[in-house]
Amino acid sequence: MAEKKLNIEENLDKLDELLKKMDSEDISLEDSFKVYEEGMKILKVANEQLEVVEKKVQVLKEDGSLEEFNEE
C-alpha cells in the first residue's frame, strides 16, 4: 500500500513525535537508530517541501501587484 504524502506541517509534527520518542528513557538503542533513520527521511522531504514553498513566495509591490521573490 502506498504511504500517504504528508504536508509540511504534518511532517514537522511527525518529527516532533520522533524527537519525543528518542528522548524517552524506555527506548532501546536499536529503536533509537530506527527512529533516527525515519526522522532523517522525513527531514529530507520537509526540506524539499520548504524549498518549493520558498520559490513560490511572492512579494506585494507598492502598486498592489505581485512579483516573484528572488534572493538576488
pLDDT in tens, 27-70: 999 999 999 999 999 999 999 998 888 777 766 666 777 776 66
Model-level pTM? 0.69
> Which stretches of the chain are assigned E, i.e. beta strand?
58-60, 66-68
**Distance separating alpha carbons of residues 61 and 39, to the nearest angstrom:** 39
pLDDT at res. 1: 44
pLDDT at res. 16: 96
3-class secondary-structure state, position 48: helix
Q: Please report where in the chains the cell 500500500 appears, as a residue.
A: 1
Measure the CA angle with vertex 57, ends 53 and 66; round to 5°.
Answer: 150
Q: Is there a contact between 34 and 40 (Cβ–Cβ < 8 Å)? A: no
Q: Is 2 part of a structural domain of the chain?
A: no
pLDDT at res. 6: 84
Q: Is 1 part of a structural domain of the chain?
A: no
Residue 14 lies in domain:
8-68
Q: Is 3 part of a structural domain of the chain?
A: no
